[in-house]
Amino acid sequence: MDIEFKINSQQVDFEDFPVCAAKITRRSSAADELSISLAPHAAVVPQIGDTIEVFYRGVRKFAGRTAKIPLTKSAERSVVEIVAKNAWLDLEETVYQQKWVRSINGNPASVFRSRVTLGQDLEGEKISVAQQLEEILQYAISCGAQLSVGSIDTDSEMLLDETRDISCSQAIARVLKWVPNSSVYFDYSTGGLPALNIKKRASLETETIDISRGSVSAATVTARPDLAIEGVSIKYEQENKQNDTTWLAISEEKYPPDIVSDARKTIVMTVDLDGSRSRSSTYKIVCETIRPDSVHWWREHVPALADETQIEILEYQRDNPKYSRELISGSIVSGMNFEVVPDHVRAKIRYEKPNGVIVTKDVATAVKTTNAFTGTFTIWKTSQLAEKRPEGIAKAIYEAASSMQYEGSVSLVGELSADRFGKKIRLSGSKYPEWNSIDATVVYSEENLIDQTTLLKFGPPKHLYPDNIEELFRISRNRVVTNDSSTRKTGKLPSDEDEDMSQTKAEINGNEGDSYYERFIVSENPSLSEVRNIDLNVADLEGNEAAKMREIYLCYNGYLATAKVLMTNPVIEQ
């Protein structure tokens, strides 16, 4: 037998799988269906979800899953009906989602969202129709869709289009509105999973059918000049904003370039594009020279030194002496093109207290060094870039909808070996010369496997292509302009953009280190010159002498005792 069936990759015999009727129906951008009627004595009956494949003379013509099994029983007949659908059903059952960067528990993370923006990639960059279709199909495959990606040649530009909670099949149809009259079909003859092809009408293979042959039982052709347009005018509108000033910019793309946009049968589309959003901020900064050799400079940076007098700077150093100025007040933001480098300045200083105590102390301060200078700066910050105007959309729509369209049907007998779905056909052998060049796309086929008959319908796909020119005028009407497309990679919402996270503020962070006293005086009244006091002066020591508490022996109340005495090491007199 020319026809063979496989269930879950296992071939079944006609005795166990008695097929009374079998029909394969194909539609563009829709699920191909296999309808089988089995005799009631069938030993093998597929279950819901089982895979069914159909082969004709060794070439696979269909592969899909059992979707429903209606049972029919009447006085006239009792049969088992089986309906299987191909992998397009997987696209209908999978909600399309995109990866976006969003905050999870305060941390940026990559998440899937069913609120999608068609026409951009993971980096937030604009992509073409073909690239968006590829991304949709690859996502569906990652979710388990039983298909492979075949040829996609619809490489035209598209506009950003925001939508939510749509299936992968709906996403494909929404993208293809920018390339009307495209053909979407499966190729089952390839090894492995069926390949989904998406092609423009112009690139489809052309086949001529001679209707004078005996295999053609009927043919009907209807010309549709009402669908042919004479031009496309796209008017792009962008609302831009700078601070509190808003203005509307309008530009036009036409094809052919010399058409008049108010002409009859011209598609006129108003397309909203994201405009730019920018604001200005004014920053006043004060910068001064770093002077670690200046007592005044240290008093300003170490508040504890403000009241000290007779300060002497013994030594100083800088950890990072790249710039000679520091930021005293204000903020330096990234738009100023100035550099800010942290530095740590240290010094050893000496000063005398009013009571005569001489202190040596380590001090340090953290400063923001910079190559900036004192002034007032106005910085413009762009929170949203203007969406780039696409090029070529008017031409793509014109080329798809300007030529004469024909619709009709052809009935064939004994023609199962040729797969004509996804091709353009011409009809020869008639008395109408124009039928030889109609180049009409086959958008529906019905193959009766038992009777060996085929019905082909050609023309614009009814569920994709507008049925009249008035519908063509509405191509862009349902498009939703996205308001957060720029946040896909960064995860920063427009409100976040208002905060400038790159500013460097001035700070004075001085501190004191260890103190060293060269002279320490304990007095009952420091304001009097003649009083009892204890005067500890390092200057009284000679050379490298060190005075500290030392233990000595002495006689106390007739006994040998020890005591701690502040003294230097004893020196034996010669």
Residue 272: what pLDDT? 84
| Alpha-carbon span 121 to 570, nearest angstrom | 86
CA-wise closest residue to 116 among 174, 29, 69, 196: 174
Residue where a domain terminates, one of 86, 118, 138: 86
Number of structural domains in the chain: 2
Nearest to 84 by CA among 98, 108, 63, 70: 63
| Helix/strand/coil (H/E/C) assignment for every residue in 521-536 | EEECCCCCCCCCEEEE
The mean pLDDT of the chain is 85
Residue 10 lies in a domain: yes
pLDDT at position 364: 92
Any domain includes 414: no
Q: How confident is the model at residue 513 (pLDDT cuts 50, 70, 90)?
A: low
Of 437, 423, 412, the residue nearest 223 (C-alpha): 437
And the tokens for 467? 């049925």
> What is the signed CA dihedral for 124, 127, 130, 133, rounded to 10 degrees?
20
pLDDT bucket at 5, cuts 50 / 70 / 90:
very high
* Cβ atoms 18, 38 nearer than 8 A: yes
Beta pairing partners, 522: 534
Contacts of 15 (CB under 8 A, 6+ apart): 43
Q: Is residue 240 part of a domain?
A: yes
pLDDT 10s digits, 547-561: 888 888 888 888 888
Q: Mean of the pLDDT values across residues 21-28?
A: 92
How would residue 543 be classed by pLDDT, with cut points 50, 70 and 90? confident
Cβ atoms 242, 279 nearer than 8 A? yes
**Residue 415's closest CA among 441, 447, 442, 439?**
447
Phi first, then psi, for residue 469 (nearest 5°) are -65, -25
For 194, which DSSP code? P
**Would you state the pLDDT for residue 501?**
41
Burial string for 490-525 (b: 16+ CB within 10 Å, else e) reads ebbeeeebeeeeebbebebebeeeeeeeebbbeeee
Specify the pLDDT at position 306. Answer: 83
Which helix (H) or strand (E) segment holds residue 175: the answer is helix 168-176
The pLDDT > 70 percentage for the chain reads: 86
Residue 340 burial (CB count, 10 A): 19
Per-residue pLDDT of 377-413, as tens digits, reads 998 888 777 878 888 888 888 887 888 889 999 999 9
Length in residues, the chain: 574
500 pLDDT tier (thresholds 50, 70, 90): very low
Instruction: With respect to residue 81, please indicate whether it lies within any of the assigned structural domains.
Output: yes
Quote the CA–CA distance of 157 and 272 in Å, as a whole number.
15
Three-state SS letters, 436-500: HHCCEEEEEEEEECCCCEEEEEECCCCCCCCCCHHHHCCCCCCCCCCCCHHHCCCCCCHHHHCCC
Are 349 and 311 a contacting pair, CB within 8 Å?
yes
Asked, for residue 258, whether it belongs to a domain, the answer is yes
What H or E segment, with its residue span, contains residue 141?
A: helix 129-142
- pLDDT for 480 equals 65
The reply to whether 477 falls in a domain is: no
pLDDT in tens, 411-454: 999 878 678 898 999 999 999 999 999 999 999 999 999 989 99
What pLDDT, in 10s, does the model give residues 63-98? 999 998 876 655 555 678 899 999 999 999 999 999
Structure tokens, 121: 């990639």
pLDDT in tens, 411-422: 999 878 678 898
What's the confidence (pLDDT) of residue 133?
97
The structure tokens listed for 83 are 């309906």
Domain region containing 41: 3-86
Is residue 19 assigned to a domain?
Answer: yes
Of 86, 105, 138, the residue that ends a domain is: 86
User: Reduced to 3 states, what is the DSSP secondary structure of residue 91?
Assistant: helix
Residue 531 — pLDDT band, cuts 50, 70, 90?
low
Q: What is the pLDDT of residue 63?
A: 96
Look at residue 106 and give its three-state secondary structure: coil
List, for residues 303-352, the tens digit of each pLDDT value.
888 888 889 999 999 999 999 999 999 999 888 889 999 999 999 999 88
- H or E stretch covering 129: helix 129-142
Residue 481 in any domain: the answer is no
Pick from 216-230, 297-311, 468-482: least confident:
468-482
Residue-wise pLDDT for 112-146, tens only, equals 999 999 999 988 888 999 999 999 999 999 999 99
Final residue of a structural domain among 395, 418, 441:
395
* Cα 195 to Cα 348: distance, rounded to the nearest angstrom: 80
| pLDDT attached to residue 498 | 44
DSSP string, 377-414: EEEEEEEEPPPPPPSSHHHHHHHHHSSPEEEEEEEEES
pTM over 0.85: no
Share of residues in the chain with pLDDT > 90 (%): 46
Q: Are 74 and 123 in contact (CB under 8 A)?
A: no
Average pLDDT on 197-221 reads: 92
CATH code (residue 59): 2.30.300.10
Give every CB contact of residue 198 below 8 A, 6+ residues apart in sequence: 130, 133, 150, 151, 152, 153, 154, 172, 176, 182, 183, 184
Indicate if the pLDDT at residue 528 is higher than 60: no
3-class DSSP assignment, residue 169: helix
- The confidence band for 254, taking pLDDT boundaries of 50, 70 and 90, is very high
The structure tokens 């023609």 sit at: 415
pLDDT at 499: 44
Q: And the tokens for 43?
A: 């030993």
The pLDDT tens digits for 272-289 are 888 888 888 899 999 999
3-state SS, residue 310: coil
Q: d(Cα 360, Cα 311) in Å, to the nearest integer?
A: 10
The pLDDT of 361-375, averaged and rounded, is: 92
Which candidate, 102, 225, 207, 116, places its Cα nearest to that of 168?
116
Report CA-CA distances (Å) from 286 to 283, 328, 332, 369, 509: 10, 5, 10, 12, 17
Which one has a higher pLDDT value, 21 or 354?
21
